[in-house]
Chains A and B, each alone.
Chain A
């Protein structure tokens, strides 16, 4: 457990030591800031709704960009061999890296806390919706992060990892939006499998165990796939 945390700290160090992380975070804040300020000043609505609606879209690009290097770069540079021969289990390596991704995404989300804070000073903030929304986004980020890490574990090329991660996350994002095209009996299932569906539920301020369970199990499944892909070892 301690080893996992040491690994997480190194990963976070690698993120925050590189200028790319600050560029990505700045762009993230620029977009969310626009979607927060626009309705607030132009439409006079004191709501986080548009920000919450936007972030799952941003995550489509943002999360694979964060995770693309996790394993692909280690594979390319050969450091994966050294990492996996340290006295640490493969799943601890995956969990340590995922934790770093979640903390990094959490830092991005934490920077947007300024919006609800300013809303609560000016108007009437729905506290339940805010907490539910942030919890949902963090869970969504964790799930997308686990998927992105799986994409990174199957290749040594970061670009391939990004595109593959984006593809899988995009398909899961779309599922609850295409229910009109699937047979009625399957519609419920397809909707339930969509990542965005559960985030939308939580943004309404309802923290339902079904939604939490969905994110946890998809994360777990993606992590299992990553562990399998690592167990095959390079070359």
Chain B
């Protein structure tokens, strides 16, 4: 659906986007992840035909953004960062204007506004001027204008920035429901957001693509330490001595509670799962094992490792 091929975008001497290539399939929800200023917005702006690429090509459904921009724009519903809206307009008038500008026939406008109102929960504010709305409602108006012409592709630049936790959950649910029928690209620097709503994640850092995969793949492919929590009915010192006998394993934390149980956190850089080994150790030592679990590497770890210097 969207093919980005060796995209380079330069602002003066600075390379905001440096040779990025990726493809988005129909029906996919793709998350752009990266620190602020990584080139997420710039990439989105080239896909939406706002900025021309300096080098490389961007094709949307076969149309090149350089030569066939109007065709590309018709396929896309776009919500830029900070949700710019004509704040002097009433919500209904604004949606009607955007619907007409995005190619909805005059006779279908009312029906489309009705559908978007129901979908984005705008019933209560439809007749209010936009500058009287709360940030959460503005965001919904922004989403409504992006979807008003029922586009196959939605591009949302930081759709949840500046919202309170309840609003974030609402917008995320909305995006997930949209994602079932449309191709969606959304950018964020909030990690749980990607895990919550995306099929696939691209991590961009300083204009380069540093990771591409499903959230699961990125976690699995992450090379770092594994951490295992163990809880046994033994003395602290006995546990420490026993763990010290294992090769390449390090105890990072341990404490004994009043009932005599010791909680220990051990970590290793070995790839093999540490849990069977710890279980055998407990059996050998004759401990009662009350807890044994491994921390999964989360996206946050992946992200930090890839984007730190």
Contacts and interface: CB of A to CB of B under 8 A. Distances in A.
A17 B50 CA distance: 29
Nearest to A235: B11
A17 B74 CA distance: 30
Contacts of B87: 77
B73 A6 contact: no
B139 to A, nearest CB: 14
Contact of A87 (B50, B81, B86, B103): B103
Nearest to A2: B100
A6 B100 contact: yes
Contact of A6 (B51, B78, B97): B97
Given A14-B86, A77-B87, A81-B50, A86 B102 contact: yes
Interface string B98-140: 1011110000000000000000000000000000000000000
A79 interface: yes
A19 B129 CA distance: 15
Nearest to B47: A85
B93 interface: yes
A233 B50 contact: yes
Contact of B84 (A10, A17, A78): A78
B101 A3 contact: yes
Contacts of B145: 82
Interface residues of B, number: 28
A81 B101 contact: no
Contacts of A18: 88
B74 A78 contact: no
B102 A78 contact: no
Given A3-B101, A81-B50, A89 B70 contact: yes
A232 B147 CA distance: 28
B39 interface: no
A78 B82 contact: yes
B205 to A, nearest CB: 20
Given A13-B93, A78-B80, A86-B73, 6 more contacts: A3-B100, A6-B97, A6-B100, A82-B145, A87-B73, A88-B70
11 contacts: A7-B101, A13-B89, A13-B93, A14-B89, A17-B88, A80-B84, A82-B145, A85-B76, A86-B98, A87-B74, A235-B11
Interface of B: 11, 45, 48-51, 70, 73-74, 76, 78, 80-82, 84-89, 93, 97-98, 100-103, 145
The 5 closest A-B pairs by CB, nearest first: A78-B84, A87-B73, A79-B84, A85-B48, A6-B100
